[in-house]
Amino acid sequence: MEQFGQYGFALALVAFFNVISDFGLNTYQIRQTAIIAKHEATNALIGEAFIARLLIGALSALIILAICLTIDKPISLKIFLGLLSITMIINFLAGSFASTLLGYEKFRLYSLLAMGTQALTTCLGFAALAAGSGLVGIGIAHMVTVLVSATAIGAVVYRNIGKFYMKGSLQSALVILRQAAPLCVTGFLLTVNYRADFIMLSLIKGDTAVGYFNSAYALINGLLLVSTTFSATMLPRMAGYFNTDKIKLASLYSTAFKYMFYLGLAMAVGATMLAGPIFELIYPESYLPGAGALSILIWALAFMFVNSLQSAHLVAQDKNRQLMYLTGIAALINIILNLVLIPPYSFKGAAAATVVSELVAGAGYFIVSRDVLPFKNLIRWSIRLLPALSAMIIAVKLSEDMLVAPRAVLAGVIFLFILAISGGLNPADLRYFSNSVIHRR
């Protein structure tokens, strides 16, 4: 458990610098690529963004190296941090290619590469654990995976988008950094929301508490991938519509919000009721206290599902400063609540702080976009959602003798069935998504 806590601490620390070295360039490059949509200009953007990434990435790596030399942690953890910093730089530079694919809406190619990367990471990670190499072996596995992934995605862009040249001026790189700066600050503040609790838990309660919290957060991260991936696919299309057809943008955003709202709340209710059985299925018995964190954190996930979409919508409209200010308020609240709640409630207090901060952020994003999505729509969707959620709760209660996986599937099927009957699921929406999202340029 202690080593698992050290692993969570290292990932949280590197995540902060990953956001700094990213400097908002991934999001910036996706949006600009979607608007430009010309191979010649895109190729120039790749080279200029690559130089900007190199400047910031090198600075971040030096800072992490300094931290490794000064923190009072085991040598294995310091080596792991060093390997993660190298991995971070490689991955960040490769992001110049990944952003181009996403900007051109080459999602199938990107998904295949992402799945291959994840599979390779998992296989090498298990191999490192089987060999008994611990954190150092896992760090090497991460680095090797990113090297392979970066090479593959560069080759895919070269073949499918066109030749690119790694050249550009320092002046053009600085211009890009200045334009992307609000997105960088937003990304950093989001990382505070997602990762500050790990570091504060480690400092206040120790690595064991972080281990319990991380066991719940690992499950949340897996589910959050659905939301972040979906929002990433929405960003280039919403940016294109903002430039050409704002009516289509409003319709696409409203429809996407509704279904992310449905899915997030359904997951939150279901996981709250099944937190204990889920932990018993996945983790050893010693991890079971983490189920308490999961039953709280899952409600943060419900807000994250719509918040990631709302963030993408604000970026598409070039409302980066509003996004930055609102995210800053939420991050500040998160830090204050962590300081207040962690001492008496440990990892459960950290989980509660995350929920509140996500609620505050989501409310702020919603208010900024109220002209596109009125509050009355949210009320109407909530009313349609209540019968489906009630039926799902009853199904979970009545199936207590079943294994957790069949219980979850049964509850999900009943939820979708009742939602369709109540008018929450609309076939017209599916046709709209097929025409506007799946059938891409």
pTM score of the predicted model: 0.74
Using DSSP, state whether 370 is helix, strand or coil. Answer: coil
Alpha-carbon torsion (233, 11, 64, 93), positive or negative: negative
What is the C-alpha to C-alpha distance for residues 222 and 155, in angstroms, rounded to an integer?
A: 28
Same domain, 15 and 111: yes
Per-residue model confidence (pLDDT) at position 441:
45
Residue 390 in any domain: the answer is yes
Question: Is 235 found in the same domain as 158?
Answer: no
Same-domain status, 269 and 418: yes
Question: 320 to each of 21, 92, 260, 429, how far by Cα in Å?
Answer: 18, 21, 22, 29
CB atoms within 10 A of CB 126: 12
**Residue 223 domain-assigned (yes or no):** yes
In terms of domains, do 131 and 237 share one? Answer: no
Q: How is residue 407 written in tokens?
A: 């219980």
> Are residues 164 and 222 located together in one domain of the fold?
no
Instruction: Specify burial of residue 233 (Cβ count, 10 A radius: 0-12, 13-18, 19+).
Output: buried
Helix axes 404-421, 246-282, angle to 10 degrees: 150
Residue 190 lies in a domain: no
Is residue 227 included in any domain, yes or no? yes
Domain span at residue 306 reads 207-441
Instruction: Answer yes or no: do 279 and 352 share one domain.
Output: yes
Q: Tell me which of 144, 168, 192 is where a domain ends.
A: 168
pLDDT for res 408 = 92
What confidence score (pLDDT) does residue 286 get?
85
Q: Tens digit of pLDDT per residue, the chain (441 long)?
A: 455 555 556 666 666 566 555 667 788 888 877 777 655 566 677 777 777 877 777 777 777 777 777 766 666 667 777 777 777 778 777 777 877 777 777 777 776 777 777 677 677 766 766 666 666 777 777 778 788 888 887 787 777 776 666 666 677 777 777 877 788 788 777 777 777 888 889 889 987 888 889 888 888 887 887 888 788 888 888 888 887 888 888 988 998 999 999 999 999 999 999 999 999 888 888 888 889 999 999 999 999 999 999 999 999 888 888 998 999 999 999 999 999 999 999 999 999 999 999 999 999 999 998 888 989 999 989 988 999 999 999 999 999 889 888 999 999 999 999 988 887 777 776 666 656 555 444
Burial 160-172, CB ≥16 within 10 A → b, else e: ebeebeeebeeeb
Whether residue 187 is contained in a domain is answered as no
Question: Are residues 353 and 230 located together in one domain of the fold?
Answer: yes
d(CA 366, CA 333): 18
| Sign of the CA dihedral running 399, 400, 401, 405 | positive
Amino acid (1-letter code) at residue 200: M
Residue 97: phi, psi to the nearest 5? -80, -45
Within a domain: residue 368? yes
Pair (143, 250) in one structural domain: no
Is 372 domain-assigned? yes
Q: How far is CA 370 from the centre of its chain?
A: 24
Indicate whether 250 and 148 sit together in one domain.
Answer: no
Number of domains in the chain: 2
For position 309, what pLDDT does the model report?
A: 93
C-alpha span between 301 and 277 (Å, rounded) = 19
**The pLDDT value given to residue 151:** 82
Asked whether residue 315 falls in the same domain as residue 406, the answer is: yes
Q: Are 313 and 237 in contact (CB under 8 A)?
A: no
pLDDT at 394: 94
Q: In the prediction, which pLDDT does 393 show? A: 94
**pLDDT value, residue 132:** 65
Distances (CA, A) of 277 to 273, 283, 290, 394: 9, 10, 12, 17
Last residue of a domain, one of 168, 194, 229: 168
Q: Dihedrals φ, ψ of 168, to 5°?
A: 165, 165
Specify if 350 maps to a domain.
yes
